[in-house]
Amino acid sequence: MTLDEPRHLAEALRRRRYLISAWPWRALAYAVTTVPLAGVLAVGLFVVGAPLLAVVTAAQRGRPVALPLVVVLTVVALAAVAVAPLVSAPLAVVDRWRLGLVDGRPLPGPGVRGLAARYTTGAAWREVAYAAWLGGAVPLAYGMFALLVLLDVLLLAGPWVAGGTDRIVLGWTTVDSPRAAVPYAVAALLAVPGLGYLAGLLVAAQAGVARWLLGAPSDGPALREVTRSRARLVGAYEAERRRIERDVHDGAQPRLTSLTLQLGLARLDVPEDSPAAKPLAIAHEQAKELMVTLRRIVQGIRPQQLAELGLAGAVGELAARATVPVTVRAELTRPVPELVETTAWYVVSEALGNVARHAGATRAEVRLTRPDRRLVVEVEDDGRGGADPARGTGLTGLADRVAAVDGRLLLASPPGGPTLVRVELPCRP
Amino acid sequence: MPPVTRVVLAEDEVLLREGLVGLLTRFGFAVVAAVGTAPELLDAARAHRPELLVTDIRMPPEHRDDGLRAAVTLRAERPDLAVVVLSQHVQSGYAAALLDSGDGRRVGYLLKDRVADVAEFADTLRRVAAGGTAVDPDVVRHLLRRPRDPLAALSPREREVLALVAEGHSNGAIAARLHVTEAAVGKHVGNILTKLDLPPADDTNRRVLAVLAYLRAGR
């Protein structure tokens, strides 16, 4: 399932093979690069916050606050506000780039241009908020986690460290012999994968906040508009195909049939030795050929069966026409939007075509299910496998068609088979 | 002179309907009603009680399989009513639905293209009206293209014969087409019936059952 890779850390954490994938290392890389950045910011925040701390302490003890301190505080606060957007801008650039370590999805910046915009746009102040968060909250979380790791290391080392005059003091008990330390060490060892997950969660949460604050909310609607218009284009294209199909099917086809019929009747009345007999026979044959041609064309424009039989029935007709026996299991308890229906039909048609051409299969199965807000189409064959989207255009063309309606195509085709094509199509009401 | 077959015709395209009326009249059928929608078809068939019904599958009001559904309804009311449905496309599901109505006799499923060969078309209608079964050669072909379990035992020649049986031809007509003797065809048919495990009974009906056997295998 090469197409089914998680795209970001939070998704990877939900996978069973998280700990043996590359994701923990990516999370580690992100965390390690966070430390110097967050460290510098924390020091900066402390410098800014120190006078404030002094004032608060003084006020708490009921002492009068010295005027110079108030002046310093005001100046420092104003300076911080003035400098913050300038400091946070390069930080935002670095961290947008850094986010790529744990999140493969593109993150376009808000595109704040000019010095004035640094102080007047919400996007710029969101970057300031991010800097404050990175310097304030993140070091605390990292500190807590570091303590946990230290504790775990200490417990692990317990059997070697404890004993003699050295004692390990835990919060609730004291370990003073290697033997007594062993259970703790075992527990600590068992906790290691948990720590791996905890680190992953920590980094994922951090990345989530970064995405939320550093993303471009102003550009969001525009991006959605782009995808919507792509779906609209596909919809318009399908509507046009349907119109052509209807025109041919309800207009041209019956007229041609009628014409051919009249030619056939005319032939009955023309004596065989008449000069008109031969051209009439030729015209009749050509009209018949044209009927076949036209029928093939209409069939290619839009699956007629879809309109007449619905998705399950039309897929059944496809199965009946396949070169190997095909079982169809359709559990469509909810209605399927028309555009999704058409896409699904093409998916099955193409996939069964591939089975016939390349798979060397003896049988195949098509499954249609309709979980909440999706239509899932699966086509499985017992052929030789080894289907590769990189070779040939069949699979990529299929993936394009699926992507146009925001669906995704997954493929499992190990050499030796079997091949499973799974397509998930969103069904919006 | 055989008695005139009374026909109700349903086709929504006016030109084609007129053409079909002309064809049927020309070949000695009496068209008692020619209508353009499925509800009209139901009314006309009930009012005129024809012997034969010829209808398009895709018809108003819904432009889906309205004509077929009307035909199946009428067959349920009158199992002796001969029905021939015309379709623009090969759809084995439709053929099977129609053949499942009643005992599978007096039914025909034809591609509209067949009306072009006017004499043959009229001949097919007569065979169905007389109690035969006629499945379009294209439907037969795509069902026979691959061996199916119940049919795997048949030899290629036997499959060929079964295809012609499905189209509604008599042993004599099949013999003429395959350039063999009628006795040879009879032997093939006997083998087919044995291989499909159809016990001896009324021979004509067994032929229909043989056709149904592989249509059902196709689903």
pLDDT score at A393: 58
The position carrying tokens 């003429």 is: B176
Burial class (CB in 10 A: 0-12, 13-18, 19+), B59: buried
Q: If pLDDT is split at 50, 70 and 90, which confidence band does A171 have?
A: low
- Closest by Cα among A66, A206, A193 to A140: A206
Distance (Å, whole) CA B194 – CA B188: 10
> Helical H runs in A61-177?
67-99, 115-120, 122-161
Distance (Å, whole) CA B69 – CA B83: 12
ipTM of the complex: 0.76
Treating both helix axes as pointing N-terminal to C-terminal, what angle do B182-195 and B203-217 enclose, rounded to 10 degrees? 60
Distance (Å, whole) CA A172 – CA A189: 20
Question: What does the domain layout of chain A look like in residue ranges?
Answer: 9-214, 221-301, 308-426
Compute how many other C-beta atoms are within 10 angstroms of the C-beta atom of residue A190.
9
pLDDT score at A416: 83
Average pLDDT over chain A, rounded to an integer: 82
User: In chain A, which residues have their Cβ closer than 8 Å to the Cβ of B151?
Assistant: none
CA A59 distance to own-chain centroid: 53
Mean pLDDT of A144-161: 82
A7, A25, A145, A200 from A20: Cα distances, Å: 16, 10, 21, 13
Evaluate whether B72 touches B79 at the Cβ level (below 8 Å): no
Structure tokens at B137: 């050669």
Size of interface A-B (CB pairs under 8 A): 98
Distance (Å, whole) CA A216 – CA A106: 11
Q: Identity (one letter) of the amino acid at A318? A: L
Interchain pair A321, B118: CB under 8 A: no
Query: A185-212: per-residue pLDDT in tens?
Result: 888 888 888 888 888 888 888 888 888 8
Chain A residue with minimum CA distance to B148: A325
Question: Poorest-confidence range of A105-119, A145-159, A403-417, B12-26?
Answer: A105-119
Percentage of chain A beyond pLDDT 70 is: 88
Structure tokens at A185: 């060490």
Mean pLDDT of A132-143: 86
Which H or E run contains A409?
Answer: strand A408-412
Interchain pair B116, A284: CB under 8 A: yes
B195 close contact with A: CB closer than 8 A = no
3-state DSSP percent of chain B in helix, strand and coil, to 5: 55, 15, 30
Which H or E run contains A330?
Answer: strand A326-331
Evaluate whether A216 touches A122 at the Cβ level (below 8 Å): no
User: In chain A, which residues have their Cβ closer than 8 Å to the Cβ of B63?
Assistant: 250, 307
Distance (Å, whole) CA B131 – CA A147: 91
| DSSP per-residue codes, B159-193 | HHHHHHHHTT--HHHHHHHHTS-HHHHHHHHHHHH
Residues 6 or more apart whose CB falls under 8 angstroms from that of B68 comprise B55, B57, B85, B94, B97, B98
Query: A318-352: per-residue pLDDT in tens?
Result: 887 788 888 999 988 888 888 889 889 989 988 88
Interface test with B, best of A308, A311, A324 (most B CBs within 10 A): A308
pTM of the model: 0.57
Q: Which conformational region is residue A386 in: left (phi greater than 0), alpha (psi within -120 to 50 degrees), or beta?
A: left
List, in sequence order, every beta strand (DSSP E) within B16-130. 30-35, 52-56, 82-87, 107-111
Burial class (CB in 10 A: 0-12, 13-18, 19+), A219: middle
Query: A243-301: per-residue pLDDT in tens?
Result: 888 888 888 888 999 999 999 999 999 999 999 999 999 999 999 999 988 888 887 67
Whether the predicted pLDDT of A400 surpasses 60? yes
DSSP character at residue A380: E
* Chain A: closest CA distance from residue B193 (Å): 24
Distance (Å, whole) CA B210 – CA B162: 8
Distance (Å, whole) CA A368 – CA A331: 6
Establish how many alpha carbons lie within 13 A of residue A232's alpha carbon, considering only the half-sphere containing its beta carbon: 6
Evaluate whether A127 touches A91 at the Cβ level (below 8 Å): yes
pLDDT score at A132: 85
Interchain pair B19, A320: CB under 8 A: no
pLDDT score at A2: 42
Q: Does residue B146 or residue A391 have the better pLDDT?
A: A391
A374-381 vs A364-369, strand pairing mode = antiparallel
The position carrying tokens 């088979």 is: A417
Q: Which range scores top for mean pLDDT: A109-118, A219-228, B36-45?
A: B36-45
| DSSP per-residue codes, A203-265 | HHHHHHHHHHHHS-TTTHHHHHHHHHHHHHHHHHHHHHHHHHHHHIIIIIHHHHHHHHHHHHH
Spell B144-162 as b/e; 16+ CB within 10 A means b.
beeebeebeebeeebbbbb
Interchain pair A265, B65: CB under 8 A: no
Which H or E run contains B133?
Answer: strand B133-135
Whether the predicted pLDDT of A220 surpasses 60? no
Whether the predicted pLDDT of A62 surpasses 80? no
A292 close contact with B: CB closer than 8 A = yes
3-state DSSP percent of chain A in helix, strand and coil, to 5: 70, 10, 25
- Closest by Cα among B34, B105, B97 to B64: B97
B16 close contact with A: CB closer than 8 A = yes
Whether the predicted pLDDT of A38 surpasses 50? yes
Interchain pair B116, A258: CB under 8 A: no
Evaluate whether B57 touches B43 at the Cβ level (below 8 Å): no
A144 close contact with B: CB closer than 8 A = no
Mean pLDDT of A215-241: 69
B137 close contact with A: CB closer than 8 A = no
A37, A90, A91, A282, B57 from A87: Cα distances, Å: 12, 6, 7, 85, 74
Which H or E run contains A379?
Answer: strand A374-381
Interchain pair B23, A249: CB under 8 A: no
Q: Which backbone phi and psi does B181 adopt, to 5 degrees? A: -80, 155
Establish how many alpha carbons lie within 13 A of residue A85's alpha carbon, considering only the half-sphere containing its beta carbon: 18
CATH class of this structure's domain A308-426: alpha beta
B92 close contact with A: CB closer than 8 A = yes
The position carrying tokens 């030796």 is: A416
Q: For chain B, which ranges sit under pLDDT 70?
A: 1-2, 142-150, 200-205, 214-219
B152 close contact with A: CB closer than 8 A = no
